[in-house]
């Protein structure tokens, strides 16, 4: 009897040790560990045979779709596939994860800070591959939007570690932005700012200016008016050795409606060009209704970086712009 008790006790101790070791990869001093991963990196937890098949194609189709407004094709997320049995320890600490598997029912489960913080995961299960594909098709837009919110907050958190305070923005434009210290003022006027940051083979840019209220209307001519204004301002304010800084005419920009600092905003994504110099790049333009000050504030980010991927550059500019606060 004593021998049996000793065996049971030893087994319990061994199990407890394994559980403690497992938990230690997820918790530090009783708290969730810091999540890991590059900006816009998505861990896809799915077995190898599924990843190589038609279901894997569907995952790549919706979560690796092309980012709108970029001159070259780049995916929404850089996906890192992890087999189910390898999703343990450190690999469970990716900030974004998507787990796809067959199960007894078809559902989408959202997991907030399950293994680390900050972290957002989704588990998609279905009784068949067809059911899983149906759920991915129906829910992917919402899932991607929530992933992007997490990544924006993470990027803004990283920016806060080295901020550049520009008092002139508050004094002349009545706004504040959480801006990395690498940016500098390239041009400053009473109601116009151009800010720049040097990057590999080019630079990242922000333009800020204001318009009279209702200059950009909400009607069938909205996108045409935005293009007309940004072209006229760009040609006047952005110097080039030759040619003009204008909107690329071969591809129609994407227009969305959103809010910034609780204010109605037009968001436009497209491509700029300097035709005579065969130069082009992406831009994102926000026209914000600042009713309290009877104006529309325009803030635009654009990138010049030939032969370099631009998704993450543009994402940084968007994160900066989305930190805007009106004083």
Give the pLDDT of residue 21. 36
Residues 63, 124, single domain; the answer is: yes
Six-digit token string for 157: 């958190």
Residues 277 and 232 in one domain: yes
Final residue before a domain boundary, out of 109, 134, 159: 159
The residue range of the domain holding 154 is: 16-159
Domain assignment present for residue 8? The answer is no
CATH number at residue 87: 3.30.379
Is residue 137 included in any domain, yes or no? Answer: yes
List all residues 6 or more positions away from 291 whose beta carbon is below 8 Å from its beta carbon: 213, 263
Of the three residues 159, 176, 197, the one that is the final residue of a domain is 159
Number of domains present in the structure of the chain: 2
Q: What is the mean pLDDT of residues 114-128?
A: 97
209-243: per-residue pLDDT in tens?
999 999 999 999 999 999 999 999 999 999 888 78
**Which two three-digit tokens encode residue 166?**
């520009």
Does 174 lie in the same domain as 152? no
129, 159, 189: which is the final residue of a domain? Answer: 159
Averaged pLDDT score across all residues of the chain: 90
Is the residue at 265 inside a domain?
A: yes
Could you tell me if 212 and 121 lie in one domain?
no
Strands (E), the chain: 27-28, 31-34, 41-45, 78-82, 96-102, 107-112, 116-117, 120-126, 175-176, 184-189, 192-199, 202-212, 245-247, 254-260, 263-274, 279-290, 295-304, 325-326
Same domain, 49 and 133: yes
- Clarify whether residues 306 and 177 are in a common domain: yes
Same domain, 226 and 267: yes
Residues shown for the chain: 327
32-74 residue pLDDT tens: 899 999 999 999 999 999 999 999 999 999 999 999 989 889 9
CATH code of the domain in which 209 resides: 3.40.1000.10
Residue 20: pLDDT band with limits 50, 70, 90: very low
Assigned domain for 112 exists: yes
Same domain, 150 and 250: no
Check whether residue 170 and residue 319 sit in a common domain: yes
């Amino acid at each position: 009897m004593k021998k049996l008790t000793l065996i049971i006790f030893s087994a319990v101790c061994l199990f407890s040790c394994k559980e403690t070791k497992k938990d230690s990869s997820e918790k530090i001093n009783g708290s969730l560990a810091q999540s890991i991963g590059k900006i816009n990196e998505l861990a896809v937890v799915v077995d190898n045979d599924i990843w190589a098949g038609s279901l894997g194609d569907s995952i790549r189709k919706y979560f690796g779709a092309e980012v709108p407004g970029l001159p070259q094709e780049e995916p929404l997320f850089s996906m890192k596939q992890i087999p189910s049995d390898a999703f343990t320890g450190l690999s469970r600490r990716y900030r974004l994860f998507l787990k796809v598997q067959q199960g007894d029912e078809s559902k989408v489960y959202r997991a907030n800070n399950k293994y680390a913080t900050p972290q957002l995961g989704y588990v998609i299960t279905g009784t068949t591959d067809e059911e899983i594909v149906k759920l991915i098709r129906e829910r992917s837009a919402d899932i991607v939007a929530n992933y992007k919110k997490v990544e924006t907050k993470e990027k803004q958190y990283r920016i806060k570690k080295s901020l550049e305070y520009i008092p002139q923005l508050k004094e002349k434009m009545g706004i504040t932005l959480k801006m990395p210290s690498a940016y500098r003022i390239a041009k400053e006027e009473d109601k116009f700012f151009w800010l720049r940051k040097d990057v590999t083979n080019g630079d990242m840019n922000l333009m800020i200016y204001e318009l009279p209220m209702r200059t950009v209307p909400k009607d069938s001519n909205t996108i045409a008016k935005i293009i007309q204004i940004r072209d006229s301002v760009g040609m006047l304010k952005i110097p080039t050795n030759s040619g003009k800084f204008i909107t690329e005419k071969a591809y129609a920009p994407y227009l969305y409606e959103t809010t910034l600092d609780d204010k109605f905003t037009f968001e436009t994504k497209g491509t700029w060009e300097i035709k005579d110099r065969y130069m082009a790049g992406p831009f994102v333009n926000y026209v914000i209704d600042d009713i309290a000050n009877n104006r529309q504030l325009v803030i635009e980010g654009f990138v010049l970086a030939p032969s370099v991927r631009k998704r993450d550059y543009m994402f940084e500019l968007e994160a900066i712009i989305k930190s805007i606060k009106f004083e």
